Amino acid sequence: MLHVARWRVLAVIIVSLLGLIFALPNALPQSVRDSMPSFLPSKTVNLGLDLQGGSYLMFEVESQVVYKARLEAVADDLSRELRGQKRPGELGASKTPILFAGRGLTPDGQVARVTIQNPADIPEAIKRIETLASPVIGLTGPTGRTDLDVKAAPGNVVEIRLTDEAKVAMTRRAVSQSIEVIRRRIDETGTKEPAITRQGVDRIVVQAPGESDPEKLKRLVGQTARLTFQMVDETVSPSEAAAGRIPPGSILLEQPGRSEEPMVLVRRRALVTGDNLTKADPGFDQQSGEPAVTFQFDGAGARAFARASTDNVGKRFAIVLDDKVLSAPSIREPILGGSGQISGSFTIESANELATLLRAGALPAPLKVMEQRTVGPELGRDSINAGATAGIIAMLLIVVFMILAYGLVFGGIAILALTVNLILILAAMTMVGATLTLPGIAGLILTIGAAVDANVLIYERMREEELAGRSTALAIDAGFKRAIVTVMDANVTALLTALILFYFGAGPVRGFAWTLSIGVITSLFTAILMTQVLVAAWYRQTKPKRLPI
Amino acid sequence: MKWPFIKLIPKNTKFRFVRFSIPAAIVSVVLCIASLVSCFTLGLNFGIDFKGGTVVEAVWDKPINLAQVRERVGNMNLRDVGVQDFQEPNQAMIRFLPPEGADASATVDAVKAELRAIMPGVKFPRVEVVGPKVSEELGTNGALALGIAIILVVLYIWTRFELQMGFGSIVALAHDIILTLGFMSITQLDFSLTTIAALLTIIGYSMNDTVVVFDRMRENMRKYKKMSLGDIIDLSTNETLSRTIITALTTFLALLGLTVVGGETMQVFTVIMLFGVFIGTYSSIYVAAPVLILWPPKRGAEKAAARTEADARP
């Protein structure tokens, strides 16, 4: 009768002690934690950005741009195939040319189209275009599929689309490359470690804790930083170009910060791109003394630039960053050394930023900010304090209430179980690396209210059993056995909703789900096991004739 | 001895709950209809989590001239601009939607620059930008979470109890959610992600309450095979009454602590939870159980009895 297995007693003691050890670092100041022996855990609970302050940025990789680039390349190459020209290094006789016209991309950039003059040539044209396709590499290796879907369409047109597999693979690659680039950029600045994670198919989340300037972070992370060197098209006058007379193969680009020449007409083809840079550093223009960025090309880049500058002495070229002209200097003499300088309207800070971006490399596709949440560190600290005050008030109210309701012994046991429960929640969250957020604190406080429910159910049942005429010991025993079924049923539903919240919730709400679900599990332990052990111990000590409730 | 005061609550209450179930049902139905009408006419006050848009909180060392802010931000070609004072005169909250097709994140930077120009040294303790695609997804996910939670909870109750009880609990859940939404619609409280968390917690709380009453009914149906269902419901509700009241009180006390936590979202959370605890307690007694009178569960089902017996043994 009222025998509690020894393992239960041991389990309660061991789990409570472990909980205390793991939860303790949270209550200690940093200096004490640092001086603790290394075998003791010193990890503290992760605080969400809403509590420690910081920025959360979610970007979407605009994979459409990557798809479009691939189709543009195909549209360029297909003329060679249709004309029957040989590829560089290809052996054998040239094929018969197929006449075509109207080659290009649809306005959305997702379909390449070419019109074949003679309908009889269409099957052969499709066959030749298909040779341009490349195999799709999936996560586990080659998929056995190619990236192009070439089909005949009405009006002697052949349409080329990317296959779904190719799109998936290209997006995945673009996201991985972007994460690499972002990591390099952030490492370059040496700021406090932000977390960069992939989310879903085409999204990247950057979380920077602490004091942070979200605008700077966005410039650093979100800028594509595609640097190109392009010739300025001087065949038409600026006013003609502005009026819309743009020669094929050229494009009119903005030149911000230069009121005397707001737009520059440049050739589309890039002489050299930022991929060919080996070095980029902030510096100063030797003549004007203004901030500038100096750079060094790699071997291939230096050769290409030397050739282009030798052929075009006296003409102008443009240094273009993300489709905006930084500067458009004249080539006074061939530039052979492979190094140069970008001057534009820079400040020291912006020259520094550009050098960082160039060193880290360009993003494969532009990133678009989908969501931004920034919380100042002071606001975070206020939230923590408010949360702590709320917790203390709730705890005090419940302590008073439980002692009034159930007396010192049973009320005390419930409060002890509740306290251990809170310690266990904190310990579990620290151990598994869960994040505590402001809604999470709310969840914790709500758990204070809900966790005593199990004790209440058990006590009420004991009371009933005693009123039904059982002896004290039998009433306690029966009270536990009967109430546990109810406690379990009641808690499973709570756990179910908490888990759903965990799965669907984002950010702070997920923190709420963490505390709620951990709280349900730990409260089962403290309410059932711990309360039972304590009540049994009390019974053996005092041998009461009646329950004091 | 009257202390502990649990002894003040009479143990053998004999309230005839079922007798009032018809008026209660009428009240519930009327309130549900009113809630639905309010949801469809007044609508819910969706925050930026679900509507998309931008919220900027500004703090300055001097009182903020809201009219000036309103004018400057209003001239920036933004949509749905709202400028409010916020807690203290040196704080302001600015909400807006970026111009159609514009980059929301760049727009907020422009607004911040504009505010810095009129209030040098102004700080922005909170900036939230939610793009239209994200808000749409958050909305879908929120609705999905609520739907799946209801289905799972009902399935659980069905397997642990009876089909009829599963039905009773789904009616109670629908009742709680509709009334809470109606409450949010009438008060025009900000409907955010945290609200979804609150709704799910209310589901959990309400079910917890319902399960405790159902659990006792299951037991009493076995114990008193001849007793009428109405009497079983009355008896079970009375037997669990002191627990129901005490748990509602402790949860209420915990929430009382939470009211000191500042921030609009947490205040809204607390208010909704307080409402939900009240409604959840009511619905366990007056919605979930009376539904069983309309569609009575099978009595003395041997399988259910055997299962409960087995559960009772540890």
- Let me know how long chain A is: 549
Note whether B204 contacts A405, CB cutoff 8 Å.
no
Residues 6 or more apart whose Cβ sits within 8 Å of residue A162 = A67, A70, A71, A110, A147, A148, A149, A170
What's the sign of the alpha-carbon dihedral A497, A499, A504, A510? Answer: positive
To the nearest whole angstrom, how far is the Cα of B148 from the nearest Cα of chain A?
A: 8
CATH superfamily ID and name for B13-45+135-312: Multidrug efflux transporter AcrB transmembrane domain (1.20.1640.10)
Would you give the DSSP letter of residue B127? E
Instruction: Specify which residues A254 forms β-bridges with.
Output: A263, A324
Cβ under 8 Å to A: B residues 92-151: 103-105, 108-109, 112, 123-131, 133-134, 138, 141-142, 144-145, 148-149
DSSP-assigned letters across all residues of A187-220: HHHT-S--EEEEETTTEEEEEEESS--HHHHHHH
- CA nearest to A213 within chain B: B124
Instruction: Specify which residues B96 forms β-bridges with.
Output: B54
3-state secondary structure of A499: helix
DSSP-assigned letters across all residues of chain B: ---SGGGGS-TT----GGGGHHHHHHHHHHHHHHHHHHHHHT--EE-HHHH-EEEEEEE-SS---HHHHHHHHHTT--EEEEEEEESEEEEEEEEEEPPTTS-HHHHHHHHHHHHHHHSTT-EEEEEEEE-HHHHHHHHHHHHHHHHHHHHHHHHHHHHHS-HHHHHHHHHHHHHHHHHHHHHHHHHT-EE-HHHHHHHHHHHHHHHHHHHHHHHHHHHHHHH-TTS-HHHHHHHHHHHTHHHHHHHHHHHHHHHHHHTT--SHHHHHHHHHHHHHHHHHHHHIIIIIHHHHHHSPPPTT-HHHHHHHHHHH--
To the nearest whole angstrom, how far is the Cα of B91 from the nearest Cα of chain A?
A: 13
Note whether B253 contacts A449, CB cutoff 8 Å.
yes
Q: Which H or E run includes B237? A: helix B229-239
Nearest C-alpha neighbor of B128 from the set A345, A113, A190, A57: A57
- A439 prior amide bond cis, ω within 30: no
To the nearest whole angstrom, how far is the Cα of A370 from the nearest Cα of chain B?
A: 5
Instruction: Specify which residues A369 forms β-bridges with.
Output: A59
Judging by DSSP bridges, how do beta strands B190-191 and B45-46 pair with one another? parallel
B133: which 2 tokens?
Answer: 């695609």
Q: Using an 8 Å CB-CB cutoff, list chain B residues near A387.
A: 261
Q: Which H or E run includes A368? A: strand A367-375
Phi, psi angle pair for A491, to nearest 5°:
-80, -30
Would you give the DSSP letter of residue A176? H
Q: Is residue B251 less than 8 Å (CB to CB) from chain A?
A: yes
Q: Which H or E run includes A144? A: strand A141-146
To the nearest whole angstrom, how far is the Cα of A122 from the nearest Cα of chain B?
A: 40
CB A195 within 8 A of CB A206: yes
Q: Using an 8 Å CB-CB cutoff, list chain B residues near A382.
A: 262
Domains of chain A: 6-53+376-542 (1.20.1640.10), 55-222 (no CATH), 227-345 (3.30.1360.200)
CB A183 within 8 A of CB A195: no
Q: ipTM for the complex?
A: 0.86
**Which of A496, A545, A547 should we substitute to test contact with B (largest number of B Cβ atoms within 10 Å)?**
A496
CA distance B280 to A411: 25
Q: Which residue carries 């994040």 as its tokens?
A: A435
CB A74 within 8 A of CB A148: yes
CATH superfamily ID and name for B53-130: Multidrug efflux transporter AcrB pore domain (3.30.70.1440)
Cβ under 8 Å to A: B residues 253-292: 253-263, 265-266, 269-270, 273
C-alpha triplet A15, A390, A499: angle, nearest 5°: 55
Q: Is residue A456 less than 8 Å (CB to CB) from chain B?
A: yes
**Which of B59, B109, B208 should we substitute to test contact with A (largest number of A Cβ atoms within 10 Å)?**
B208
Domain ranges of chain B: 13-45+135-312, 53-130
- pLDDT digit string (tens) for chain A, length 549 residues: 467 788 889 999 999 999 999 999 888 888 888 888 888 888 888 888 888 889 999 999 999 999 998 998 888 888 888 888 777 666 666 778 888 888 888 888 899 999 999 888 899 999 989 988 888 887 777 777 888 999 999 988 999 999 998 999 999 999 999 999 999 888 877 766 788 999 888 999 998 887 667 888 888 888 899 999 999 998 888 888 888 888 878 889 999 888 888 899 999 888 898 888 888 999 898 888 889 999 999 989 999 999 998 999 989 999 999 989 998 988 888 888 888 888 877 888 889 888 988 888 899 999 999 999 999 888 888 888 988 899 999 999 999 999 999 999 999 999 999 999 999 999 999 998 888 888 888 888 888 877 888 999 999 999 889 888 888 889 999 989 888 888 888 888 888 888 888 887 776 778 888 888 898 889 888 988 899 999 999 998 888 888 887
To the nearest whole angstrom, how far is the Cα of B203 from the nearest Cα of chain A?
A: 7
